[in-house]
Chain A
Amino acid sequence: MNPTPSAATQEAPAAPAAAPASLRQKSKAALREAGIGVALVCLVAVFALLSPIFLTPGNITNIFTQISINVILAVGMTFVILIGGIDLSVGSVMAFCAVVAGTVLKLEGLDTGLAISLALLASIAVGALCGLANGAVSAYWGIPSFIVTLGMLNIARGAALQWTQARSIYEFPDAFNNFGSATLLGAPAIFLVALALVALGWFVLNRTVFGRLVYAIGNNEEAVRLAGHNVMAYKIAAFVICGAAVGVGAVIYMTRLTIASPISGIGFELNAIAAVIIGGTSLSGGRGSIVGTLLGACIIGVLANGLILIGMSDFLRQMVTGFVIILAVVLDVYRARLTRGAA
């Protein structure tokens, strides 16, 4: 009754003929990002044909400026989604960070540089604390982060409104306000900040033990726990990172608007989630990349900008963005099925 040992176990030397297979693996991961990149290039080509203004340097700078905030938020969101969570509180927390930072900026008797540094630190701290609360409650009690962050969405918004009595804070130092429109080597400074965060996120996810465990937890939490790791701590850390990114995003957004408004950032979480999803990160966690997220944010930005240029109405634009999100997920499911089937 014993079946003969399968052919596969008989052949194939134990010492691996590594090169081709390893290349195949690498190209497989790169293929996903390349696919999103191709979609982006196609979009750009279409808009370039339809609108003479689209590819002008001014418009390109414009697009980069517009997507910067979303890129920053989406980098943090990528960590949370990779561990299998979601953060719906991002927009509200951003407003709360902004009003706290705004208050710090307006403190009397501080040197401008010091005030700006303190404001940035305060904003990051507030964001990280909100993330800590999100992560701790959802990880410790095993409550879906969807629910916890939905609560935080209301708490942070309420806190921002209470803090300012629903008034905006403005008249910040010029040095601060100018940063929002500054350029460096022709690129918007705030986009360079966003790119720096993308690079940092990439490094953490691909080169550190923490990044390895983020992917592992998203794939199989139980196996990671049984390997002796403190899964709860890593899950909380992902939310803290997301919150800290929100803190950075809040200050960058203030430099653009030159005010800190308690009603800013409404719906920003959805844009960030959309960028992550379009970028090929799986909502169930464990699969995806920061580069994909950057490309996803670019696609959303190019769509928004291009559709305006070809004169599409606000309402239709919103619909198109919605279709693109669904299309991205459908493509992802389809691709996952293909690879599973082949394995």
Chain B
Amino acid sequence: MNPPDTLAALELHGLTRRYPGVLALDGVDLTLQRGEVHALAGENGAGKSSLIKILCGADRADGGQMRLFGEPYAPHSPLDAMRAGIRVVHQELHMLDELSVAENLQFEQLPRTRWGLLDRKAMDLRARELLALVGLDDLAPATRVAGLGMAQRQLIEIAKALSSQSRIVIMDEPTATLTPRETDRLLQIIRQLRDGGVTVVFVSHHLQELFEVCDRVTVLRNGRKVATQPMAGTSTDDLVRLMVGRDLAERPPRKAAAPDLQGAPALRVQGLRFRGQRGHAGLDFSLHYGEIVGLAGLVGSGRTETVRAIFGADRPAAGQVFRDERPVPIGGPKDALAEGICLVTENRKDEGLILDMPIRANISLASLGAVSHSGLMRADAEGDASHRMVSKLQIRLASIQQPVRELSGGNQQKVVLGKWLLREPKVLLLDEPTRGVDVGAKAEIHALLERMAADGLAVLVVSSDLRELMSLCDRMLVMSRGVLAGEVARAQFDEEAILALAYQEYTRGTPRARAA
């Protein structure tokens, strides 16, 4: 399978990256050839982003080597990578809003006159050339970037990657914001690049694009390389199977819960639309007492937006939330909390915790009324409540006076849970509750959720870890590109089927199988 060395643009040997509690990359070997378009595929968290970060110098590997055109390659910064000819078109756009298109295109190496001043003529000329390359002939180079739409920005970002002498261009979800016509144009550009001898690494949720433009595909799973194979001869089904890994589908048994499906649902949403949602269909689903429901889907499919809208963290664009079949207006977190709805947000450091304040203050933050008397804090009540949560959740700490920052990720997450459990919620929404949490604490959090569900709590869990949802949930809702693609009962849990639902809206028009 390995091509002769003369063809190799970039070789990776045993690339490893370890984060606290997670092995993001586990000895990945990969060879990129000159002038090929190479697809990088894998589920959320498979290691694609970690790999790209290391390639572009934003992060460093803990182990393994890289060779770029035969030379050892170990970038210490994005600038090193750029100088070596590796460019990344990022998913999140990094643009200088107040500057012109031309300046954004060339700000790393602005042309100068012999007096050292900015050579506007040369800059405009070069900008026009680059814009023409991505089909933005009509855009004046002097236009301010702030006024442009996402698609135009994305194309400018791509043009920027073409502006320097790039030998390897990495495109991380470049088509997410593009219309079909713009996407076609981009795929055309990619082919031109390839024909010019540039190596392109292409990442996209839209599998049909991979089939259209890529020569070979490498699939990552759990930080390991599963396969590298020619795109021709691979079918969508093959690809999905490789990404999921059928051999790992062990399903730890969970005691059969007895959700109260007869009574009124604890939570029902009707026609819910969050801001920026694609399409016109709202979301409809319900959640019963004693039930753990998973919300599956790809990153960016609208799972986070959905739970945030229910909680009122962001105001929904439309829709109605019902508690016990009573319509409840949710204008903000305060209203949701009054209805017994709590949300463990995705980002505990920025939204869940006050890192520099003591554990006790974090636990009591959402229940200050219960630990105070006419506006005065009752230190004893607060201490008692904190200790109660600490022992209920088995938080490992030295003292409740400790700043939360000093705790491990798993114990920090337990503090977030403690903050909400102190309120005795009826409906608990959790967004990636075990991300960055070590396996021990993860198991404890799962056990806790199961215990509380058995006691009647209604639980909705968002997770990118499908296996986690499969072992934890009674039922799964699958979102795909802002749409509820389907609902799967526990008896029918099957990774391939769920992933197929998750990709449903992204793979429209793809042939299900290709001729080998």
Contact = CB atoms under 8 A, between A and B. Distances in A.
A227 interface: yes
Interface in A172-218: 207-213, 215-216
30 contacts: A1-B23, A3-B438, A5-B441, A6-B21, A9-B396, A9-B438, A9-B441, A14-B391, A14-B395, A16-B399, A21-B398, A21-B402, A22-B401, A25-B399, A208-B375, A209-B376, A212-B377, A213-B368, A216-B354, A219-B354, A220-B351, A220-B354, A222-B350, A222-B351, A223-B365, A226-B311, A226-B345, A227-B337, A228-B336, A287-B356
Contact of B406 (A208, A212, A287, A343): A343
Given A9-B408, A220-B350, A343-B403, 13 more contacts: A14-B394, A14-B395, A18-B399, A25-B401, A207-B377, A212-B377, A215-B361, A220-B354, A223-B354, A223-B365, A226-B333, A227-B419, A228-B338
Please name the 5 residue pairs, one residue from A and one from B, whose CB atoms are nearest each other, closest first: A5-B440, A21-B399, A21-B398, A227-B366, A25-B401
A10 B396 CA distance: 9
Interface string B365-399: 11011001001110000000001001100111111
B302 interface: no
B411 interface: yes
A17 interface: yes
A52 B284 CA distance: 82
Contacts of B372: 208-209
Interface in A85-115: none
Contacts of A227: 333, 337, 365-366, 419
Nearest to A203: B376
B439 interface: yes
A230 interface: yes
A62 to B, nearest CB: 38
Interface string A1-33: 111011011101011111001100110000000
Interface string B329-353: 0001110111000010100001111
A5 B438 contact: yes
Contact of B398 (A10, A16, A286): A16
A12 B440 CA distance: 14
Contacts of B290: none
A166 to B, nearest CB: 42
A343 B404 CA distance: 10
A21 B336 CA distance: 36
Contacts of A14: 390-391, 394-396
Given A227-B419, A228-B334, A6 B438 contact: yes
B355 A219 contact: yes
A225 interface: yes
Given A8-B408, A209-B375, A219 B357 contact: yes
B345 A12 contact: no
B174 interface: no
A227 B399 CA distance: 23
B316 interface: no
B400 interface: yes
A213 B354 CA distance: 11
A16 B399 CA distance: 6
B405 interface: yes
B438 A228 contact: no
Interface residue range, chain A: 35 or more
B23 to A, nearest CB: 5
A329 interface: no
Nearest to B224: A1
A210 B375 contact: yes
A224 interface: yes
A207 B376 contact: yes
B496 interface: no
Contact of B376 (A6, A9, A208, A219): A208
Contacts of A12: 396-398
B308 to A, nearest CB: 9
Nearest to A19: B399
Contacts of A222: 350-351
Nearest to B399: A21
B400 A216 contact: no
Contact of B402 (A3, A15, A25): A25
Contact of B334 (A5, A25, A230): A230
Contacts of A8: 396, 408
B85 interface: no
A8 B223 CA distance: 25
Given A3-B438, A25-B358, A230-B334, A9 B411 contact: yes
Interface string B118-154: 0000000000000000000000000000000000000
Contacts of A22: 399, 401
B352 A223 contact: yes
Nearest to B308: A226
Given A10-B440, A21-B401, A1 B361 contact: no
B377 A209 contact: yes
Contacts of B223: 1
Contacts of B334: 228-230
Given A9-B440, A208-B375, A15 B356 contact: no
B439 A2 contact: yes
Nearest to B337: A228
A209 B399 contact: no
Nearest to A17: B398
B400 to A, nearest CB: 7
A16 B397 CA distance: 7
Nearest to A287: B356
A286 B403 CA distance: 13
Contacts of B505: none
Nearest to A220: B354
Contacts of A223: 350-354, 365
Nearest to A219: B354
Nearest to A282: B356
B26 interface: yes
Of A17, A25, A213, most B-chain CB atoms within 10 Å: A25
Nearest to B444: A9
A229 B333 CA distance: 8
Contacts of B50: none
B75 interface: no
A210 B405 CA distance: 23
Contacts of A25: 358, 399, 401-403
A152 to B, nearest CB: 28
Contacts of B440: 5-6, 9-10
Contacts of A1: 23, 26, 222-224
Contact of B365 (A210, A216, A287): A216
B313 interface: yes
Contacts of A2: 439
A209 B365 CA distance: 10
A219 B396 contact: no
B410 interface: yes
Interface in B186-237: 222-224
Interface in A264-316: 286-287
Contacts of A21: 398-399, 401-402
